[in-house]
Amino acid sequence: MAAALVSNVLYSGGFVLEKRALATLPEVTVHRPARLLRLVLGSPLWIAGALSLAAGFGAQLAVYRTLPIAAAQGLFVSGLVLLVMLSARLLGEETTGRERYALGAILLALLMVVLSLKEGGAGADTVGRDAPYPLILLVCVPSLAAGVWLYRSAERRARRRHRMPTTGVEYGVAVGLLYGVSSLAVKGVSSHLTTSGIGDALLGLLRSPYPYLLLFTGAFGLVLSQAALQRCRASLIVPVCTTVTCLYTAVLGTLSFGEELPDEPLRLALRVAGTVLAVTVLLAMPKHDTTSQPSTPNKELTPP
């Protein structure tokens, strides 16, 4: 639990630092990834944010080794509250009443999903250690394709003239799918980390799909997330991304790694209702931004 809370602080702080850095940089785009990387790597503030996120990743490894997937997601999602507070305090971002209600409903939905997996008895805290590789690829490859397609669709709409500024919900969902795959890969990597037989563990890890999924989602997610974060409010796009990642990991990760599903009707109802509520809230969230963003100039109105 302590590692999860540390991870929340590092992730929230990292996103805020990156957002502040991006506000001072020229417009970045996924169509010019080399230029994007050159710009962000030339910003000390952005590098500090990236290091904070990397440290949060390290804390996640410790969490996944000791907690079930769904319980870990419940602790991670609590960081949304800190992220919204930091965004308002340090970035000057304002959330509308509708968005605050939506974020509250998302927190409730994810809490319901977590509670559905906290069963009593000897197997309450069973932690899955590995998953069949074909199953992992069957889950992850279509998810990556869906995330890329959704992001490209959002990009095409963003390039239209005379459009209203977007809130970034579509970007958040797309990046959330990529990070959901990354989260499953983190879980897989953590299952190979042992204090004995390090050589065999490393060899087994390299034979698994997890490090390669991490490399792909890390590099690709970096480019996609930075372009989206520069355009949209961190206080909205990051919670949407986190919600998708947590739901994806809690549901598909639990199935893939063989962690037990709830067999009690009440807990099963909590799982289904929480998932449906979160998806419904995401679909109902406003697609156009009517609030000001003092920390980031509106660069969407500039034709490509």
Radius of gyration, CA atoms only, the chain: 19
| Average per-residue pLDDT for the chain | 78
> CA-to-CA distance for 49 and 240, rounded, in angstroms?
20
- pLDDT at residue 61 in the model: 79
**What's 101-128 look like in SS3?**
HHHHHHHHHHHHHHHCCCCCCCCCCCCC
> CA-to-CA distance for 137 and 225, rounded, in angstroms?
23
CA torsion, points 166, 167, 169, 174, in degrees to nearest 10?
60
pLDDT range class, residue 70, cuts 50, 70, 90: low
Element at 176 (helix H, strand E): helix 169-192
% of the chain residues with pLDDT over 70 = 78
What average pLDDT does the segment 74-80 reach? Answer: 70
- pLDDT at residue 275 in the model: 72
Question: Quick check: pTM over 0.85?
Answer: no
- pLDDT at residue 21 in the model: 92
Q: What is the pLDDT of residues 95-132, one digit of tens each?
A: 777 767 777 887 787 777 677 765 444 444 466 667 88
What average pLDDT does the segment 140-150 reach? Answer: 92
User: Which amino acid type is present at position 91?
Assistant: L
> CA-to-CA distance for 251 and 143, rounded, in angstroms?
13
User: Which amino acid type is present at position 136?
Assistant: I
SS3 content of the chain, % helix, strand, coil (to 5): 70, 0, 25
CA atoms within 13 A on the CB side of 267: 14
Q: What is the pLDDT of residues 242-299, one digit of tens each?
A: 888 878 887 888 788 877 666 778 877 887 787 778 767 766 665 555 554 444 444 4
Q: What is the pLDDT of residues 199-253, one digit of tens each?
A: 777 888 888 888 899 888 988 888 888 988 888 888 778 878 888 887 888 788 8
- Quick one: how far is CA 62 from the chain centroid? 18
